[in-house]
Amino acid sequence: MTSKTQSSAKASKPIEDAVAAGKETIEQAMKASTEGYEQAIAMGKEHVANASNAMFRSYDDIATLNKQNVEAAMKAGNIWAKGYENLGKAYFSYAQDAAERGTEAAKAMMTAKTMQDVIDLQTDFAKQRFDHLVAEGTKMSEMSVKVATEAMEPLQKQFDTTVSTLTKPIAL
């Protein structure tokens, strides 16, 4: 029986070696597959983290831009309001001056002795009013242009900043 057992052990040795070799090959393949899979997962996590960080940076940039846009609009509005307050004061000052000069001219015409004196006073008054009207109109026009230009400065500056930021590519 020993010789049968020995010959059976000898015959099963190559099978056991083949099974061991197959098992080792499968283990190596599983190990390589697992390492590749883990590497792919790590790379995927890294890409997702980078994309997520870029997205949140972009969100923060947009939120900051929106805040800056509102601040620029508020600044422009304050400049506009102050400028038009000054323009309104200038207009009412002009209107008050015109009324006072009109009253003076009317009093002077009431004291005129001849019709020619009335015509001369009226002609002088009309000429003075026209010259004053042109001067005040020019002054108010210049004030309006100045206010509009100053009010647009913060808006233009913020527009340039916004365009520059939004046209910049997102870094991943």
Quick one: pLDDT at residue 6? 61
Extended strands (E) in 7-151: none
State the sign of the Cα–Cα–Cα–Cα dihedral 158, 161, 166, 172. negative
Where exactly are the structural domains of the chain?
12-166
Span 145-151, average pLDDT: 92
Give me the pLDDT at residue 9, please.
58
DSSP conformational letter for 168: S
- Mean pLDDT across 34-42: 66
Nearest to 159 by CA among 61, 59, 73: 73
Tell the burial category of 132 from Cβ atoms under 10 Å away from its Cβ (0-12, 13-18, 19+).
middle
pLDDT at position 14 over 80: no
State residue 4's pLDDT score: 57
> pTM of the full predicted structure?
0.57
* pLDDT tens profile 102-115: 999 999 889 989 99
Nearest in space to 146 (alpha carbons), one of 75, 71, 86, 68: 86
Q: Is the model more confident about 5 or about 103?
A: 103
Residue 170 reports pLDDT greater than 70? no
SS3 114: coil
Q: Provide the sign of the torsion angle of the four alpha carbons 110, 115, 120, 126, taken in this order.
A: positive
Tens-place pLDDT, residues 45-100: 676 666 556 555 667 777 788 888 889 989 999 999 999 999 999 999 999 999 99
- What is the reported pLDDT for 48? 61
**Tell me, what's the pLDDT at 69?**
86
Looking at the predicted structure, is the pLDDT value of residue 38 above 80?
no
Cβ contacts of residue 77 below 8 Å, gap of 6+?
151
Average pLDDT value over all residues in the chain: 80
- Can you tell me the distance from the alpha carbon of 91 to that of 97, in angstroms, rounded to the nearest whole number? 10
- What band does 168 get if pLDDT is binned at 50, 70 and 90? confident
State how far the Cα of 161 lies from the Cα of 121, in Å rounded to an integer: 60
Question: Does residue 1 register a pLDDT over 70?
Answer: no
